[in-house]
Amino acid sequence: MNFLGLPDYVSDATQFLESLKRSKPSLEAEQRAGRALLWDRPQDREFLRQAQAARVPQKPYVYQTEPSLQ
């Protein structure tokens, strides 16, 4: 309850997520394992440096074709 004496509002989405977590307590651990599998990987700093150095600057209007040399 808040200071006005009204019950605290809980959205339908929040209620669903809370009931899902109660019914499947291992859900959060499974989500963390999935994230570690796909995203939490060590980065090769040398490769990132080389990729940044090899970038070609983009032209201001990318759809502009080069004028033909005739």
Terminal-residue alpha carbon distance, the chain: 79
Q: What are the boundaries of each domain within the chain?
A: 12-53
Q: Kindly give the confidence (pLDDT) of every residue in the chain, 70 residues in length, as a single tens digit, with 9 standing for 90 and above.
A: 567 777 888 999 999 999 999 999 999 999 999 998 888 888 899 999 999 999 988 878 878 777 765 5
Q: Rounded to two decimals, what is the model's pTM?
A: 0.48
3-state secondary structure of 46: helix
Tokens for 29, please give them. 């651990």
Calculate Rg over the CA atoms of the chain: 26
3-state secondary structure of 20: helix
